[in-house]
Structure 1
């Protein structure tokens, strides 16, 4: 077999491994291996093939790391609606006592606190955060 076919087999193995792991970093290294296959197909020697594969793989990995895909979008679990399904829910507060209340929500009594800076008036509120068994609410 030719050198370029070994590079392609390696790239294929990394693509399959990436499917099981779920990161894009193995795909970037596979791009480097594809560049090594291209260099081999063009007739470059072994050291130049390896150098090409390494440079393209490292460059692709660095570019991925600096892209928006590598940045974490997660916030705190207390106010992340993807983690806590109560975020965005509605509660009705009949009366407040020192910016705190007790309300029935999903069949249980919950403590409710008003988000800072808001006026404590009876009415409907939206859950913006959950801290333990306390719902932090704001106006909808």
Structure 2
């Protein structure tokens, strides 16, 4: 077998491994291996083939890292994420408070309600409408 076919076989194997990993980084390495195959097809020596494969693979990886697909997503707690829990942002009426805690009927069930003092410290719990900020089990964390 010719050198270029080994490079292409390695690139194909890397693409298959990438399908199992779910990231694009192995795909960028496969692009580098394909570039090494092109260098071998053009008749360059082994050192040049390795150099081309390394430079193209590293360059593609850096380009991916700088793109929007390579950026790390900011982790949001699922209890506070309105994309995960549709109750976040909904309003609930609290008729009375007892020591910053209450029980309310919400969605046909009784829920424990706790006032979120981290949003506005020193807020006094008074009856009225509150917005749900977080859901912890069967407890709604609300803020005015």
C-alpha change, 1:85 and 1:10, in structure 2 (3 Å) is: farther
- Which residue in the other structure is 2:93 paired with? 92
Tell me, what secondary structure is at the counterpart of 1:27?
Answer: helix
Q: Under a length normalisation based on structure 1, what TM-score does the superposition of the two structures give?
A: 0.76
What residue ranges of structure 1 are gaps of 5+ in the alignment? none
- Which residue in the other structure is 1:58 paired with? 58
Q: After superposing the two structures, state which structure 1 stretch, 84-93 or 54-63, moved more.
A: 84-93
1:119 and 1:9 mapped to 2: Cα distance? 68
What residue ranges of structure 2 are gaps of 5+ in the alignment? none
CA deviations on 1:82-107 (whole Å, 9 max, x unpaired) are 44454344433233345432112344
Q: After superposing the two structures, state which structure 1 stretch, 63-72 or 35-44, moved more.
A: 63-72
2:65 and 2:18 mapped to 1: Cα distance? 16
**Are residues 1:135 and 2:140 paired?**
yes
Q: After superposing the two structures, state which structure 1 stretch, 55-64 or 85-94, moved more.
A: 85-94
C-alpha RMSD of matched pairs (Å): 2.6
Residue pair 1:99, 1:114 contacting (<8 A) in 2 also: yes
The number of residues matched between the two structures is 139
Q: Under a length normalisation based on structure 2, what TM-score does the superposition of the two structures give?
A: 0.74
Correspondence list, 1:1-140, <5 A = 1-68=1-68, 69-116=70-117, 117=120, 120=125, 122-138=127-143
